[in-house]
Chain A
């Protein structure tokens, strides 16, 4: 719990990543490398789920780090560093998605053809067997969830990813996305309702009985 009278800047300074960013601001050797290594997987993970493409996610993440570096002298420890980082990421990703909507690209499915996809013999081996392996089941579930996530609009998707994978609370998501806390609450409610509508039939696949409601009785 923050102490009474503690400012947001003092709170931010408790964040080790904020202190690391202050080292980057002061051009301390190795600080920026440490920052990149610490955040690259988290950033690319969120961006990948947001834009749905690994190469584009890495390009965007590089651009985010580039902007962080170029803006380092203006950095002030007003909030947690991750909030600042994902604010930049959110702006860049939404701009990229809007640009893509104006000029759609058709991604190649590497599973269908080309040197990166499995050869027919490999596919036969993979598909053989009467009982699907747990791994394949997980892959199928991942594809289902991926499709459900893609069905959300980009703002709902971003709010879900920040909440789920970055453990951001509503206030932090609001700061990243330029919304009010109430707006985030509403956004996440719509997002989770939409996800449930798509995933409803998969929710009780683990054999657990579906809870009875008064209407069922």
Chain B
């Protein structure tokens, strides 16, 4: 290949922009006119185009099979916790058992609380308390006994005592 006098930086820059479809319409027309008459510019355009096409030899790397799951796992730390996400997390063969266990625990707790609440609100059962004793009244009623308590203590038999009260035995002489 022979020695090619290089294009100026601006000319080459315009040529590459033209190949990329980035040159404005007026400049593009001027460059096309030059390409028609100037073999050097045509060769330059051809080598640049072929160089660009060689990049197609580069492989197109793809992600590993676990990339998506690993990425989502990292992101999950920042995910807002919603009811649906919690339920989604309960999917699995053991989810039914866990669900029933939860239902039983919740039902037991609710039942216990309900009974406790009812008991707190119910009036206390009536207690068979003794009527308040009116001590004064009792003392008044038993006053005679109290006054003669010393004499009563000497008596062994109440019937004997009643006989003493008989007027026939101990009546006045007059």
- Interfacial residues, chain A to chain B (CB-CB below 8 A): 27, 29, 32-33, 36-37, 40-41, 44-45, 48-49, 54, 57-58, 61-62, 65-66, 69-70, 138, 141-142, 144-146, 149, 160, 163-165, 169-170, 185-186, 188-189, 192-193, 195-196, 199-200, 202-204, 210-216
Please name 15 further chain A to chain B contacts, defined as beta carbons within 8 Å, in addition to the given A33-B72, A195-B52, sorted by A numbering.
A40-B67, A41-B61, A45-B60, A45-B62, A69-B78, A70-B78, A142-B57, A149-B55, A170-B17, A170-B22, A185-B16, A203-B50, A203-B54, A213-B39, A216-B1
Question: A residues within 8 A CB of B12?
Answer: 189, 193
Q: Measured between C-beta atoms, what is the minimum distance from B64 to chain A in Å? A: 7
Question: B residues within 8 A CB of A196?
Answer: 47-48, 51
Instruction: For B16, give the chain A residue with the smallest CB separation.
Output: A189
Instruction: For A49, give the chain B residue with the smallest CB separation.
Output: B58
Question: B residues within 8 A CB of A149?
Answer: 55, 58
Please list 22 pairs of residues, one from A and one from B, whose beta carbons are closer than 8 Å in the complex, sorted by A's number.
Answer: A41-B61, A41-B63, A44-B67, A45-B62, A48-B61, A58-B64, A61-B63, A62-B74, A65-B71, A66-B71, A145-B55, A149-B55, A170-B17, A188-B20, A189-B12, A189-B13, A193-B12, A196-B47, A203-B47, A210-B1, A211-B43, A213-B40
Question: A residues within 8 A CB of B22?
Answer: 169-170, 185
Question: B residues within 8 A CB of A146?
Answer: 58
